[in-house]
Structure 1
Amino acid sequence: MDNLEAGTQLTGLQAIWHDPEGEATLEQAWQANQQGKFKPLDTAGSTGLQPGSFWSYFILRNTTSEQLRLHLEYVDHQLISLQAFDRPLQAVGFQQIADLFLGNPFSERPVSHNRFVVEVELAPAESREVLVRYNSDRQGYVYPSMRIWTPAALQASLTVETGMMAFLFGGFFLMSIFALVAGLATNEKTFYAYSVYSLSKITVWGVIMGYAHQYVITENFHWSYMSISGAVTIFCALFFARLFLQSQQFIPKLDKLLILMMANAVFLFITALFKLTPLTVMSMTFALFMYPIMVVVGFARWRQGSKEAAVFILAWGLLIFGLVTQVLRDVGVVAPSFVNYYWPPLASFTEMLTIMAAMGIKVHMLRVQKEHAEKKYLRKLEESKEELRDLVEERTHELKQAKLQAEMEARTDYLTGIDNRRSFINKAEMRLSLALRREQPLSMLMMDLDRFKAINDSYGHDIGDQVLKAFSEVVKNTIRSSDIFGRMGGEEFALLFDESAEGSVEMAERLRQEVERITVSTPKGDLQFTTSIGVAHLGTVGTLESMLKQADIALYSAKENGRNQVVSQT
């Protein structure tokens, strides 16, 4: 060892053996080594997604004259168990120096670190052979390599890493609080979704990077927690994105892809919960493969005019770049390093900051739209005042006309257009009172169309209606405008007018003669009809009821005496 104890040198990549079944013992692994089955890794540092276990063999040499204690740190967090064995060079028999398992209590780790660390002691000028078994629980990604540290250098590096992650977690937490406050202030669901999404980021990176096991779930930790927290974060991300981009409303076809991705997140959660390793790995791979679709969705919204979608594209692009870096690292295209190890959480943090900026833009645009809408509303309100005033005046006029029309219809006979019975009686009562006070003459005529039923039966009711209208028109044209004329019901009519007994008989006779001359055209030929009239005259005292009764008696006499005549009741 020269000056290579600061984590800059990796071990074991030149001699790697794959045990597909994951059942090989130490003796079988050493036998494979002796048979030349340990080969250099043909990737940049990862075995890729393969089942079983991997073994690495390397030699540590202490070139100094002092006792040397080293910490060998596994380069990644995605490992279920690690066993290490060593012996002095060319000695007989290996001894186990580490048996690390993700499910063991964190307190049992010989070195308190969020990743697996193996401690090795080297005497002055001593060389030791080391065999390390890496296990990913049947199927997963393995980085069969260790970083070499002195204890002090590893502790210093851990302090820096922990501080950086604490900064990122604090940033996520603050963004979550800010979004929650904004949600409470605006009642906008997008802020609430963003707040939950930010908290899920703390959870997923805390679990994946090993801090949850170190500080929270120190007992009975399981690899499935990584996938479960990842599933929750993916679901929250997609839920937020759908709200933020309004994909369901504006791009429904692409929105179906987002729903598919959300369904896969639920599937990932279930498979991880039940510890179905192959299905979990497949689902997670599918989720990462589908992530770039979010950029396509954002681009579609940006093309539709959503300015904040452009910032969303940038944010999601940063995240995808980080995830792509992780994928390239996992499949062995890129060699593992601190930069690409921490790039995914850093990219995730940058994504959240950028989305926060996008949400700020969105809020600003909503405020501008609100102010514009308020100004437009005020202008419209001013314009509407005049329109409303005109509308009210017009409506008031219409209501007055409707009222007059209703009042007229209430006192008018619908067929003939003259006063109906109720209106006739009301007017007649007032005229009678006036005549009594002034001691003026007042006469009443009761008129009935002769054989009207026979007309209806022979010619039909339509002709009967024409007869009633023609009769009413003739009477109206004969009497004075001050006379009160009304239809009492059916073919019976009444006339009240200022006239003496003698004059009233003359008026009745004139009306009878005018009616005789009426001709109504029918399909059966011209129709003529007559009327019988009863006359009553007001004395010094009297009532409307008595006048109507007297006139009705006179009318009855006229009909009994042969019809088409005038009879006066004096």
Structure 2
Amino acid sequence: MFNSHRVSFHRAQWVGRSGWAAGIRCLLLLYLCALGTQALAVKPVVVAGDENGETIESNLELWHDLQGHKTLDDALTAFAAGEFSPLTTSNKSLGLKPGAFWGHLYLTNPAAQSRTLYLEYVDHQLANLQAYQRSPLSSEGLIGSPGSMAKIAEFDINGSFSDRAVSHHRFVFAVTLEPGQTTELLVRYGTGDRGFIYPSLRVWSAENLRMAQTAEVGLLAFLMGGIVIMAMVSLTVGLATGEALFFAYCLYALSKIAMWWTMAGFTHQFIIPEHFHWRYISFSGALVITTGIWFARLFLKTRTCIPRFDRLLLLMLWCACLLVLAAWAEQKAVAVILITVLLLMYPLVSIAGLMRWYQGAREAAVFALAWAFLVAGLLSQALRDLGYVEHTLSNYYWPAVGSYTEMVVILFAMGVNLYKLRDQKNAAELRYLTQLEHKKSELETLVKERTRDLEAAKSLAEVEASTDPLTGANNRRSFFRLGTQLLHRSQRHASAFSLLMFDIDHFKAINDNFGHSVGDDALRLFARTLMAEIRDIDIFGRLGGEEFALLFSGTDDASLKTAERLRETVSKLSIPVGGEEITFTASVGVAHFGKEATLEELFYKADAALYEAKQEGRNRVKSADDI
């Protein structure tokens, strides 16, 4: 039917021509009839002027050149012999095929004005593409011979981007049709050794193509910009904490940017317009896989927690290394197969995350969810490449969107992990302080059974060496050691503490009037009472004679209130002696930690405050700030 319309169209143009023109017309009609019924198998693409990326698989006939060495004349011969067949499938990949495919189609312009349309190859994996156009008939007569076809476009993934007539990150060529003109195209899709073929083309008007390209560049720039920000955040945290995990995430994110920018064709367009090579795509893919598996193994701790399953992840790393070698050796078929295998193995990382979650790592569940976003995108890409699902812009960019989502969720999982590490650090510090403040007997639970007796003897020796034998309080040496540690912690963390110095008032009179045994009872009662009134984190010790000291962790106001409370408690104490009760009081000097470099400096201030308290009548609290 289509050929009949073409014949009628040209017959109407040639009415009234001379005899020699009628002869040429007859030759042309004979040639068109010689094309056979194959030209009737598909309809022409009717140019409307507002094309918006519609695909033309229903208007296309295909012929497979298995070796990929056939010429244009070979393709024309095959077409004349009826070896081209209509493409009956939807916009899908033909799968991993060797050689090249030749596509044949017609374009017709029924309008009264000329129109230019743009044909775009739908994917980024094609090695090369050539387009040929048959010289058409016009109202003025024959332009060129009926069998002539001229090359109108030639693309190569390794070629210079500046050679492209249309500046676009994919293969795009223009066809101009005059009013009422119908033209015939042959398009060669070349894969090299072996590759995935999407035989369809998208048809665009100039304005719609420009808008679509702008939208694509904007989308990818948005996604890659977000990944850049996440990479910089991770790098900053890595520099602050020294954790290798954050550096691995940063490299993983940056490699993703390089891969998606290269796979989409923007690296060729904007970064390496000259001397680009297809192996850069394989290199970038291998880099993403390598850094991704490295990061996943660090995050999930697969090497120590699930060592058997970790071997599968190591296998993925080896496959990525083979991919680099295949790309370097320009073995495109091997590289394509390895990339496909690696994409199909990506769900293993999600399984590793679920296994770690089952072991109790909560952040691994978030990681598994994040990786699932990526796996869904890559699985759609693998199924699309193998021809099981239709090729659309949505599933073309689904892997990139899934990759972006994966990075966002993984960053959240790393935050969860960082929060967990912080809790572990705080818990470790608290355990360390508790071990210093509790009785040494608790250390028995941390040693092995065969050394229990030795550890018990060691603990007893440590207690005797660090405590005052009369009162049970820390002796002077132990008090200064613990106090110096508290001072250093306070200097590092800017925490507040105060030194309270106690002196039992008129203690010499107690010894002189009632004997040293009563004096010892007073010292023991005083120390036992204060140790019962203070907290475990406070440090209490006997400095010598009737002088005691307390290191109180807290605000200045709280330390003064504690000093007053303890002074009042001491004033209520009594010792029975010979049927009567004797009482005693204590004076307290308080010094708050400020910029002192040593504990001795703080002692000097507290001692001065204690002296003032005695001078003012004893049984009172005096702050060093008030003198």
1:108 counterpart = 2:178: no
Name the counterpart of 2:263.
Answer: 208
Report the CA distance between 1:99 and its aligned residue. 1.0
Say if 1:384 and 1:256 are closer, same or farther in 2 by CA, change over 3 A.
Answer: farther
Secondary structure at the residue paired with 1:78?
Answer: coil
Q: List aligned pairs for 1:397-546, cutoff 5 A.
A: none
Q: Partners in 2 of 1:396 and 1:102 — Cα distance?
A: 79
Name the counterpart of 1:50.
Answer: 97
How far does the alpha carbon of each residue in 1:52-92 deviate from its partner, in whole angstroms, 9 at most, with x for none?
00011111111221110111011001111100011255743
Report the CA distance between 1:4 and its aligned residue. 5.3
Name the counterpart of 1:304.
Answer: 359
Report the CA distance between 1:371 and its aligned residue. 2.0
1:19 counterpart = 2:62: no
Name the counterpart of 1:392.
Answer: 462
Secondary structure at the residue paired with 1:268?
Answer: helix
Runs of 5+ consecutive residues of structure 2 not aligned to the other structure: 1-46, 138-145, 443-457, 468-627
Say if 1:272 and 1:333 are closer, same or farther in 2 by CA, change over 3 A.
Answer: same
1:336 counterpart = 2:382: no
* Contact preservation (8 Å) 2:302, 2:309: yes
Runs of 5+ consecutive residues of structure 1 not aligned to the other structure: 398-570
Report the CA distance between 1:165 and its aligned residue. 0.8
Report the CA distance between 1:393 and its aligned residue. 4.7
Report the CA distance between 1:42 and its aligned residue. 5.3
| Residue among 117, 130, 147 paired with 1:83 | 130
Secondary structure at the residue paired with 1:270?
Answer: helix
Matching residue's letter, 2:335:
T
* Contact preservation (8 Å) 1:180, 1:195: yes
Report the CA distance between 1:41 and its aligned residue. 3.3
How far does the alpha carbon of each residue in 1:326-380 deviate from its partner, in whole angstroms, 9 at most, with x for none?
1111111212111011111111111111111110111111112222232233222
1:31 counterpart = 2:77: yes
Secondary structure at the residue paired with 2:86?
Answer: coil
How far does the alpha carbon of each residue in 1:403-441 deviate from its partner, in whole angstroms, 9 at most, with x for none?
xxxxxxxxxxxxxxxxxxxxxxxxxxxxxxxxxxxxxxx
Q: Partners in 2 of 1:383 and 1:34 — Cα distance?
A: 97
Q: Partners in 1 of 2:135 and 2:116 — Cα distance?
A: 15
Q: Partners in 2 of 1:121 and 1:14 — Cα distance?
A: 19
Please say which structure displays the higher CA radius of gyration: 1
Cα RMSD for the two superposed structures = 1.9
* Contact preservation (8 Å) 1:12, 1:58: no
Name the counterpart of 2:434.
Answer: 379
Q: Partners in 2 of 1:47 and 1:301 — Cα distance?
A: 39
Report the CA distance between 1:395 and its aligned residue. 7.0
Report the CA distance between 1:8 and its aligned residue. 2.4
| Residue among 192, 200, 218 paired with 1:145 | 200
Say if 1:131 and 1:48 are closer, same or farther in 2 by CA, change over 3 A.
Answer: same
| Residue among 348, 354, 357 paired with 1:293 | 348
Name the counterpart of 1:197.
Answer: 252
Say if 1:12 and 1:220 are closer, same or farther in 2 by CA, change over 3 A.
Answer: farther
Name the counterpart of 2:231.
Answer: 176
How far does the alpha carbon of each residue in 1:458-489 deviate from its partner, in whole angstroms, 9 at most, with x for none?
xxxxxxxxxxxxxxxxxxxxxxxxxxxxxxxx
Matching residue's letter, 1:317:
A
Name the counterpart of 1:500.
Answer: none
1:68 counterpart = 2:138: no
Q: Matched residues, percent identical? A: 43
Matching residue's letter, 1:85:
Y
* Contact preservation (8 Å) 1:295, 1:313: yes
Report the CA distance between 1:40 and its aligned residue. 2.9
Q: Partners in 2 of 1:99 and 1:85 — Cα distance?
A: 9
Q: Partners in 2 of 1:134 and 1:206 — Cα distance?
A: 23
Name the counterpart of 1:2.
Answer: 48
* Contact preservation (8 Å) 2:49, 2:205: no
Name the counterpart of 1:233.
Answer: 288
1:159 counterpart = 2:214: yes
How far does the alpha carbon of each residue in 1:256-305 deviate from its partner, in whole angstroms, 9 at most, with x for none?
11111111111111111111123212222221121111111111101001
Q: Partners in 2 of 1:288 and 1:42 — Cα distance?
A: 28
Report the CA distance between 1:10 and its aligned residue. 2.8
| Residue among 35, 41, 54 paired with 2:87 | 41
Normalising to structure 1: TM-score of the pair?
A: 0.67
* Contact preservation (8 Å) 2:340, 2:382: no
Matching residue's letter, 2:98:
P
Q: Partners in 2 of 1:223 and 1:41 — Cα distance?
A: 28
How far does the alpha carbon of each residue in 1:505-547 deviate from its partner, in whole angstroms, 9 at most, with x for none?
xxxxxxxxxxxxxxxxxxxxxxxxxxxxxxxxxxxxxxxxxxx
Name the counterpart of 2:175.
Answer: 120
Normalising to structure 2: TM-score of the pair?
A: 0.61
Secondary structure at the residue paired with 1:133?
Answer: strand
Name the counterpart of 2:564.
Answer: none
Name the counterpart of 1:185.
Answer: 240
